[in-house]
Structure 1
Amino acid sequence: MWLSFALASAVLLAVRRIYEKELTARFSNFSLSFLLMTFSVPAALVLFLFFPIPDDIFQLPWRFWWPLIFIWIVLYPVQNYLLYRSLREGELSQVTPVSALLPVFNIIPSFFLLQELPSVLGAAGIVATVVATYLLLTDVRQGERQKYNLPVLFMIGSVVCTAIGSTLDKVAIEASTPVFYTFVNMLGASVIFLVLTFAYRQQHELARAREVIGTLLILGVVMALAFVAFATAFALGPTSYTLAIRSGGLLIAALWGLVLLKESLSAQKILALVLFVAGTFALAVS
């Protein structure tokens, strides 16, 4: 059961990244974060009709709230800032596969909080993923002065935040239900990003939402469904392997960039993508 939800979340996440890449050309980091979270909240609320919610939503334990508070105030602002800088400044085929690092960064918090460790095959997958990431990180265009690819570096930072947040997600989901957690998570995040939008004087960009209202409506539904599918898989399956399958879907976004956006293709990038596929497969079946 968890595998089906993990696969669904993988495909939906790839679709989300493709749309987000397009929207980063129109909006700044926090205004885009606010819009996406806000358009996702109604879709998450509708899912209450199809998925269970806690019997008493006013008596949820502290174990539900403290992960959310940390995610809202600390992780989300850093994570989304780095994510949208990466998508805006980098190629889809170069930055989206880096999310395959998610199970790697998740090992330490998962061990301490959930007592989960990878198998030997999983460890081999981790090595392949790390090597692939290094290849993309050092795949700098000729003539550029920096030693490392900055968009890839930004994505690595975003993935670190996501890994920490994913473990906290599981703690809070276990104290509630996947769909209720999704709704509260997105609702609180929209408030935080609204504050940041005004704090960084990006509020004038919100008027542009009318120009892409169709895209935002579609993306809101996609995000809500992806989050619920992921949260359900997370609640039912092993943390690192659920993350591996979810991250593997981003290879779809990478192929979109290569085939439809005609992004650059070097020998180093090809090798990295092959290693990402091998590493993700090893983690998923281990």
Structure 2
Amino acid sequence: MTTFALAIVLFSALLHAGWNAMLKAVDDRAGVLGAVSLAHALVGVVLIALSPLPALASWPSIIISTLVHYAYYLLLFRAYRHGDLSQVYPISRGLAPAIVAFSAWMLIDETLAPLAVAGLVAITAGICLLALQRGAAAAPRSTLGFAVLLGLCIGAYSTADGIGIRLAGTATGYMGWLFLCEAPVPLMIALHRRRNRGQFAPRTLVYGLLGGMAAVTAYGLVLYVKTIAPLGAVSAVRESSVIIAALIGVFVFGERPWPGRILASIVVALGVVALTWAG
């Protein structure tokens, strides 16, 4: 992975950890998720207007990714309702790199150099170590179940999008239709809120739209890098966002203990360096 690609993915990781931390901090998570999806759809409309139609071969990936994203949002809402940020986030994101690397090898015969494989293993190990710092083995089964299912969803849509965007012939066109397909999410949340006579606070909409812009920028950057770098490597570096989330957990939410998090951060950092050296 080149330095340019690495910088883009690390910036994406920062944005993603930030909006997930905001989602954990707010009370109206359903409202914020609805606004996040709305931001995706609005950006999608703009990208569609400025881009050609994606190639027919990429549409199965768009459909698969869209359906998996629906499940992802539902699981994300449930997971943060029952678990801590520094537990759910590393477990779910930590599963994704290995899933993506294995899927890319099986589906498109994409392999990594030995040093890159070592880097991926180090990143995954560091993420798992970070998850265990929160007592994952003793956590409620519901929290672990939601986190594991989230990881499977992340691996599934990451693989689908990595393959689809390469077949699309237009990165922005692929992103546009993928983002627009999230439009049913805010509509369903709004209808449910209306049936239950609930209201959206203006602050919820503002937070959601800001989080949505961070989310759409983060994933858009990752999709672009997947056109110029191996899927497994991109996914592994992308999940270094768990370190950022852990630091937010320590300094913003006051989560403890911190020594294990520092060790996990060093392991992940070494893995990122190995992936960069592997080229």
Write the distance in 1 (CA, Å) between the matches of 2:137 and 2:11.
40
Instruction: Name the residue aligned to 1:42.
Output: 42
- Whichever residue aligns with residue 3 of structure 1, its letter is L
Write the distance in 1 (CA, Å) between the matches of 2:127 and 2:224.
28
Deviation at 1:41, TM superposition (A): 2.5
Q: CA separation of 1:216/1:192 partners in 2, compared to 1, >3 Å: closer, same or farther? A: closer
Q: CA separation of 1:250/1:266 partners in 2, compared to 1, >3 Å: closer, same or farther? A: closer
Corresponding pairs, count: 272
SS of equivalent residue, structure 2 residue 226? helix
Deviation at 1:216, TM superposition (A): 2.1
Residues 1:191 and 2:184 aligned together? yes
Contact 2:6 2:276 (8 Å CA) reproduced = no
Deviation at 1:26, TM superposition (A): 1.2
Instruction: Name the residue aligned to 2:51.
Output: 53
Deviation at 1:8, TM superposition (A): 2.6
- Whichever residue aligns with residue 26 of structure 1, its letter is D
Contact 2:33 2:208 (8 Å CA) reproduced = no
- Whichever residue aligns with residue 183 of structure 1, its letter is G
Write the distance in 2 (CA, Å) between the matches of 1:227 and 1:255.
21
Instruction: Name the residue aligned to 2:85.
Output: 92
Residues 1:116 and 2:110 aligned together? yes
Instruction: Name the residue aligned to 1:252.
Output: 244
Q: 1:83 aligns with which of 76, 86, 95?
A: 76
Instruction: Name the residue aligned to 2:12.
Output: 9
Deviation at 1:243, TM superposition (A): 1.5
Write the distance in 2 (CA, Å) between the matches of 1:35 and 1:132.
32
Q: 1:26 aligns with which of 12, 28, 49?
A: 28
Contact 1:2 1:234 (8 Å CA) reproduced = no
Summarize deviations over 1:118-161 as a string: whole Å, max 9, x none.
322233334434444554555565xx995677535422321221
Write the distance in 2 (CA, Å) between the matches of 1:274 and 1:166.
25
Summarize deviations over 1:160-201 as a string: whole Å, max 9, x none.
211121121122212142222222112112215634775xx4
Contact 1:77 1:193 (8 Å CA) reproduced = no
Runs of 5+ in structure 2 lacking a partner? Answer: none
Write the distance in 1 (CA, Å) between the matches of 2:81 and 2:272.
25
Residues 1:233 and 2:231 aligned together? no
Q: CA separation of 1:119/1:109 partners in 2, compared to 1, >3 Å: closer, same or farther? A: same
Deviation at 1:19, TM superposition (A): 1.7
Write the distance in 1 (CA, Å) between the matches of 2:209 and 2:250.
26
Instruction: Name the residue aligned to 1:162.
Output: 154
Q: CA separation of 1:147/1:219 partners in 2, compared to 1, >3 Å: closer, same or farther? A: closer
Write the distance in 2 (CA, Å) between the matches of 1:44 and 1:97.
29
Runs of 5+ in structure 1 lacking a partner? Answer: none
Summarize deviations over 1:81-112 as a string: whole Å, max 9, x none.
23333333333233333324322111221012
The normalised TM-score by structure 1 is: 0.79
Q: 1:125 aligns with which of 110, 119, 127?
A: 119
Contact 2:41 2:181 (8 Å CA) reproduced = no
Write the distance in 2 (CA, Å) between the matches of 1:86 and 1:270.
25
Q: CA separation of 1:261/1:149 partners in 2, compared to 1, >3 Å: closer, same or farther? A: farther
